[in-house]
């Protein structure tokens, strides 16, 4: 291929891995960082940098790349299951790093704590996922789990299942979180109704519902702030 050069033939200061070691990871472009993850290109057609640029041009951002499935990634020329798995693993490490700032036993002090905890995982999902975060009497996280996964438009949440998990973990308070794949965090009539049912069920077992947060694209709605949940 005219103009094709293997990265090992480049000057040392231009090679992504060597550049990272010498100048630090912040000196690398997005495509250079991704090239290190990919390690190799596509035979004699492209090197790792070319392949990384093609991926970023196709998806537009790491965020969009993260929302792609393994099969979608493998549909890109030069990306097999091994490279797709490497990409997904690297992006997952980044998300877990963000979550460790609000890890287990962390005290929840604001809505922003919850949003920052869930945002990397929920904002780009193509299906609706309903989660519950269980807290102790000092508002420290005991456990968080997925209660239901639904279609693009709705998830099915049964108060009986929620209460069973709350009692099992001896939680004193809970926060509900779910996403709207449409990107619009405004609560629907169904959201408000299920919140009322969950609050009523929790009241029966003496558990406080602190909030129900709906995650959109880059925005969220707190039903407590909207006055729809009162302790």
Domains along the chain with CATH numbers: 7-98 (1.10.150.20), 103-222 (3.40.140.10)
Q: N- to C-terminal Cα distance for the chain?
A: 68
Residue 43, judged by CB atoms within 10 A of its CB (0-12, 13-18, 19+), counts as exposed
Rounded to 5 degrees, φ, ψ at 6 are: -70, 145
Contact between 152 and 181 under an 8 Å Cβ cutoff? The reply is yes
pLDDT tens string, the chain, 231 residues long: the values are 445 677 877 877 788 999 999 888 888 899 999 999 998 888 767 889 999 999 999 999 888 898 889 999 999 989 999 999 999 999 888 877 776 665 555 778 889 888 988 888 888 888 899 999 999 999 998 998 999 888 766 677 889 889 999 999 999 999 999 999 999 999 999 999 999 999 999 999 999 999 999 999 889 999 999 998 876
């Amino acid at each position: 291929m005219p103009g094709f050069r293997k990265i090992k033939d480049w000057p040392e200061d231009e090679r992504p891995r060597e550049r990272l070691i010498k100048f630090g990871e912040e000196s690398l472009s997005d495509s250079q960082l991704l090239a290190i993850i990919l390690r190799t290109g596509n035979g004699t057609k492209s090197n790792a940098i070319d392949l990384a640029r093609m991926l970023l041009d196709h998806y537009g951002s790491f965020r969009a790349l993260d929302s792609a499935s393994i099969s979608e990634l493998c549909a890109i020329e030069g990306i097999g299951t091994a490279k797709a798995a490497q990409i997904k693993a690297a992006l997952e490490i980044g998300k877990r790093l963000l979550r460790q700032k609000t890890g287990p036993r962390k005290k929840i002090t604001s809505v922003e704590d919850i949003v920052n905890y869930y945002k990397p995982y929920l904002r780009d999902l193509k299906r609706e996922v309903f989660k519950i975060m269980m807290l102790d009497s000092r508002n420290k996280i005991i456990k968080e789990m997925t209660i239901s996964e639904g279609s693009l438009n709705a998830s099915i949440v049964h108060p009986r299942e929620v209460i069973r998990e709350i009692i099992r973990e001896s939680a004193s308070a809970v926060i509900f979180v779910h996403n709207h794949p449409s990107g619009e965090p405004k609560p629907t009539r169904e959201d408000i109704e299920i919140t009322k049912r969950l609050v009523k069920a929790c009241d029966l077992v003496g558990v406080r519902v602190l909030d129900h947060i709906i995650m959109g694209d880059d925005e969220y709605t707190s039903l407590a702030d909207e006055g729809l949940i009162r302790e």
